[in-house]
Structure 1
Amino acid sequence: MEEFLVPIGRTLTSFVLLVFVTLVIGKHINSHKNHYSFALSVSIGSFIANMGFHTNLKFMDILIAFIALLILYYLCLLLSWRSRWIREWLSGRPTVLIENGKILDMNMKKLKMSIDDLNQLLREKDIFNIGEVEYALLEVSGTLSIIKKSPFQPPVKRDFGIMHSHQSLPIELIMDGKIIAKNTNGIYSSDWIKGECKKRNLKVEDIYYAVINTSGVLFIDKYEDSLSSPVDVE
């Protein structure tokens, strides 16, 4: 029985530890915006696998090494935040691939990147004509940042003389038929929410989701959608 309980216990412990680490520094790891965050994500996967399944290795030894790795990563974050020189050395710098509409073949050679690779990255940005690009930079994360030439840039409201209108983050008020208490402050109080529901002959329990959108307008979605034949893509 013990031979089953030990790997199960190690796996559960390592999983809980992974969830905790992800909650603390998950945004840094998941973004892969620099070299050491990518290295950490690979190393964490290896450590967690060994914690859970490699029973020949002592769990405490792996745990200590894992904690040491996290401390090292935190130090890298701290040093990168304090020093731009260290940040460039640890995180790397973006590489310009297109400048003034011209492909920089020397930089392409340094990265061992072909024209096909560049075209693929451009297509992922919905650009099928390389002649539309003024500048293109390959970020450390591997994503491509671009600036289109002026004739190919999409128009903005200012081009049409439309004045700026204030926008804010959406405020969720009701979810799964329950008022989100932490968001009921200011003008969006519980009484205000219930009053808006009453205007629409609804109860809070009837509403699946209600949110104040970025324009300050209340959006409500009921549990009953009254659709005769909803689309099912599965």
Structure 2
Amino acid sequence: MGELQAVFSGAKELPLWGFVLRATLLYFALIIGIRWMGHREVSILAGHNYLVAAGIMSLSAVRMVNAEASLTSALLIVFAYAGVNVLYSYLDIKWPKAIDRGPVMLIENGRINKKNLLDTHVTIDNLLGQLRLKAAHNLSEVAYAVLEPTGKISVIKKSPTLPLTRQHMNLPAKYVALPALLVHDGQVDEENLNMLGFDLNWLKSKLAEKGFGRPEEVFVAALQADGAIYVSA
């Protein structure tokens, strides 16, 4: 009982299982906290999200390796961090201009905004590198470049440099859909199969065309948007 209490309150020395237990509890606390904070925290869309993530990870690392640190206080701090972040994110939704940074125009109507570059500490090399990542290799191609609150740069090209689309060629729109999973790791997804209006005999016949005798031999089989069957063993 004394050793278990020491795991939570901290001690000069802890048994090996004590470190394992501390790490496990902190891991689950982090998972619960991150799920509570939602997708926004995972993608770190704002400055306060980054600070929360960095603070929680730093706190957890210290509590995992420092035997004298209190695990109880660490768990409380993790959930306090998460709670403050949820509140701050709510305020950010209500009053975004007051809470978080807004987008900054770096290129406007094809002209570089020197003042905004200086204010945001973005160098010309940084800007050119980000433009290349967006397949804009020449400044003359860019109509607008915006530094988003996430720290990434969005690029809108001038219309003459945009790629040719089916709409430009007056062609009918092409149907686009996600592939429907039919088999995964040898298991038939009967729900998807029924939803598509097919049965197991149809699936087996399609797999036979690909050289597979049974669904159990297949790792992934999916029906693609063009009607073709993708199969991988």
Give yes or no for contact 2:37–2:82 (8 Å, CA) kept in 1: no
**Deviations 1:139-184, CA, capped at 9 Å, x for gaps:** 1111110111122111111111210133222211111222134434
Name the residue aligned to 1:194. 204
- The answer to whether residue 198 in structure 2 is matched with residue 174 in structure 1 is no
Give the conservation status (yes or no) of the 8 Å contact 1:174–1:208: yes
CA distance, structure 1, for counterparts of residue 35 and residue 150 of structure 2 = 21
Residues 94/67 of structure 1: CA separation in 2 closer, same or farther (3 Å cut): same
Within the alignment, does 1:219 sit opposite 2:201 as a pair?
no
**Equivalent residue, structure 1, for 2:7:** none
User: Do residues 149 (structure 1) and 124 (structure 2) align?
Assistant: no
Does residue 60 (structure 1) correspond to residue 69 (structure 2)? The answer is no
- In structure 2, the partner of 1:229 is none
Secondary structure, counterpart of 2:168 in structure 1:
helix
CA separation in 2, counterparts of 1:158 and 1:55? 65
Structure 2 counterpart of 1:103, one-letter code: I
Contact between 1:40 and 1:73, CA under 8 Å: does it hold in 2? yes
> How many Å separate the matches in 1 of 2:192 and 2:179?
11
Of 91, 95, 98, 1:79 maps to 91
Aligned-pair distance for 1:54? 2.4
Count of residue pairs brought into register by the alignment: 219
Task: After TM superposition, give the deviation of residue 87 of structure 1 in Å.
Answer: 2.0
Letter in 2 for 1:193: L
Give 1:13's match in structure 2, choosing from 18, 25, 44: 25
- Structure 1, unaligned runs of 5 or more: 224-234
TM-score (norm 1): 0.83
**Cα 1:65–1:182 shift into 2, 3 Å:** farther
Quote the Cα distance in structure 2 between the aligned partners of 1:142 and 1:188.
Answer: 47
Q: Secondary structure at the match of 1:159?
A: coil
Contact 1:35–1:90 (8 Å) recurs in 2: no
- Output one character per residue of 1:115-153: Cα deviation in whole Å (capped at 9) or x when no partner: 111111112222221111010001111111011112211
Q: CA RMSD in A?
A: 2.2
Alpha-carbon deviation of 1:35? 1.4
How far off is 1:41 after superposition? 1.3
Secondary structure in 2 matching 1:211: strand
* 1:122 and 2:131 matched: yes
Q: Please state whether the residue corresponding to 1:157 is helix, strand or coil.
A: coil
CA–CA distance in structure 2, aligned partners of residues 189 and 140 of structure 1: 49
Letter in 2 for 1:76: Y
Distance apart, 1:198 and its partner CA: 4.4
The residue that corresponds to 1:100 in the other structure is 109
In structure 2, the CA distance between the partners of 1:9 and 1:172, relative to structure 1 (3 Å rule), is same
Distance 1:23 1:183 in 2: 28
What runs of 5+ residues in structure 2 fail to find an aligned partner? 1-12
Q: Which residue of 2 aligns with 1:70?
A: 82
- Within 2, Cα distance between the matches of 1:55 and 1:163? 67
Structure 2 length as normaliser, TM-score?
0.84
